[in-house]
Structure 1
Amino acid sequence: MSEFAPAGDPVIPDYGTATDCVANDGLFCTGWFVQQWPSVFWPALVSHIYMVVIAVVVGFIIAFAAALLAYRKKWLAGPLNWVATILYTLPPLALFQLLVPFTGLSMWTVEIALVCFTLLIIFQAVLSGLAGVPADVKRAAAGMGLDTGQLLRQVELPLALPAIISGVRIATVLTVSIATVAAFVVDAGLGSPIIKAVSSPFNTQFIAAGALAVLLAFVLDGLLVILGRIVTPWTKARA
């Protein structure tokens, strides 16, 4: 990914064919959007999806492992939650700035920051889901001869799945939003055309990129809802 030009350099959008809509800076120039889709918006959308998926997957692995550890070792729940909370409360631009001296203006900086913002939500979702499993259910499973590992895999995790998926949904939508700020570090994602549009008087680029980010959040959330219904069919039957 290429880096942004130094501050102060002019940003000159590619207006393409100067139609009346473009020349008069219409609210939304559909023709210009279609013209710029393959070269501007589609690559930005793909890179945005890439950033979000990598961050959520890595964040889930880390947070899930930490939550399982905290569930088994109760005294670790407080310290782990405290660390995740500190990372979550850092402003995105501040975290980017803290990471740049170590990882530079690179995708590593972006992904590390995005992962940090997913940890608290997923950690708390997994931990609360496991803690919410009824004690009588666990006693009944233990009475059937299930050991600790079997109890976790066959009873606790399946019953905690709705809470876990809810946490992943929230983390995913949040990451879609924060990833737009990543354009201050790398020239990638839907934040790139948004920032370039802010530097110009042209409305269409700003509206189109923002609308794509919102649409992406809805689509990913919808896919996770469908996934949740597939992996927890008993909740639908109970409803």
Structure 2
Amino acid sequence: MGAGGAGVNRFGDAIRYLNDPFNWTKRDGILDLLVEHLRISALAVLAALVVAVPVGMLLGHTGRGGGFTVALSNVSRAVPTLALLTVFAVTPIGFGPTATTIALAVFAVPPMLTNTYVGFRGVDRDVVEAARAMGFSERQVATRVELPLAMPLLMTGVRTAAVQVVATATLAALVAGGGLGRIITLGFRQQDYGAVVAGAILVAALAVLTELLLVAVSWALTPGEKRLPFLTARRNSPVPEPTAAGVPL
């Protein structure tokens, strides 16, 4: 059988795996691993959010630390998450969900920090000076003027980090951290490639859903008139002018 036929068979095995209710409801089944995956990812993103956004706001508001944010972003691309997990293995942190959460949080900080900084620096300086002239304190300028205007870029950083974390959390299974990656590692161990493909489908679907959810959150948080994209396109489309016979040309 050719490679194409084998691929089709494995995809069919994956669909059968996902359609089996027992694989979802058993102990350490898909539902349990999904909850574990979401918990690890959410904790990592929240931890990164608490660290990165305030620091990015401070640096962006003051205009300092541009070189630091660029350097941090570059370093983060060079240090893979798996390397951090390996380092944690020889420290008191060890293996498990805690090590995975910390490593993923470290991985998520740079895009959030960089986008927050760039978003704040991109705010029109005339708007900032006008707010100061109106008597706003520096804190009010940052939170009531710069933050709303920087929100689209800030949320882009959060969305990028969250999708990366959801996808990379699959590595947790390599260090006894749980999550959907266990389906993939167990499938390889048992040479059940249908389960491997099923695990990959689940992780990819979860990443796409995370992206869509955060796009909606970003749309809701961005100041200005709220219009759904398809409604905006429909309103902006030209309307044909009727002729004397009532039929457009």
Q: What range is the shorter-chain TM-score in?
A: 0.7 to 0.9
The answer as to whether partners of 1:107 and 1:186 remain within 8 angstroms in 2 is yes
* Greater radius of gyration (CA): 2
- 1:209 pairs with 2:199: yes
1:69 to partner: Cα distance:
3.1
**Unpaired runs of 5+ in structure 1?**
1-20
Find the aligned partners of 1:183 and 1:95 in 2 and give their Cα distance: 14
Q: Distance in 2 between matches of 1:228 and 1:72?
A: 21
1:29-51 CA distance string (max 9 Å, x none): 25763221112111111101011
Amino acid at match of 1:168: V
Count of equivalent residues: 217
Task: Say yes or no: does 1:46 pair with 2:16.
Answer: no
The alignment status of 1:163 with 2:150, answered yes or no, reads: no
> CA shift at 1:28, angstroms?
3.3
Question: 2:42 is matched by which residue type in structure 1?
Answer: V
For 1:117, which of 87, 107, 130 is the aligned residue? 107
Give yes or no for contact 1:165–1:228 (8 Å, CA) kept in 2: yes
Question: Which is worse superposed, 205-214 or 52-61?
Answer: 205-214
TM-score of the superposed pair, with normalisation by structure 1: 0.82
**Pair 1:56 & 2:45 matched:** yes
Which piece of structure 1 moves more, 189-198 or 84-93? 84-93
- TM-score scaled to structure 2, two decimals? 0.79
Structure 2 partner of 1:188: 178
Kindly state the Cα deviation for residue 83 of structure 1 after the two structures are TM-superposed: 3.8
Aligned partner of residue 189 in structure 1, secondary structure: coil
Contact between 1:69 and 1:76, CA under 8 Å: does it hold in 2? no
Query: Does structure 1 retain, via aligned residues, the 8 Å contact 2:180–2:199?
Result: yes
Q: Where does residue 119 of structure 2 map in the other structure?
A: 129
CA offsets 1:143-192 (integer angstroms, 9 cap, x no match): 22212111111100010111111111100110011100111112510111
* Letter of the 1:65 counterpart: P
Is 1:226 paired with 2:216? yes
Asked if structure 2 preserves the Cα contact closer than 8 Å seen for 1:28 and 1:203, the reply is no
> Structure 2 residue aligned with 1:198, among 158, 178, 188?
188
Looking at structure 2, the residues matched to 96 and 26 of structure 1 have their Cα atoms a distance apart, in angstroms, of 32
CA contact (8 A) 2:220 2:226 kept: no
Does structure 1 retain, via aligned residues, the 8 Å contact 2:61–2:142?
A: no
Alpha-carbon deviation of 1:112?
1.1
What's the counterpart of residue 245 of structure 2?
A: none
Give distance in 1, aligned partners of 2:165 and 2:20. Answer: 25
**Percentage of identical aligned residues:** 28
1:197–1:206: structure 2 CA closer, same or farther, 3 Å change rule?
same
Shift of residue 236, structure 1, vs aligned partner: 3.5
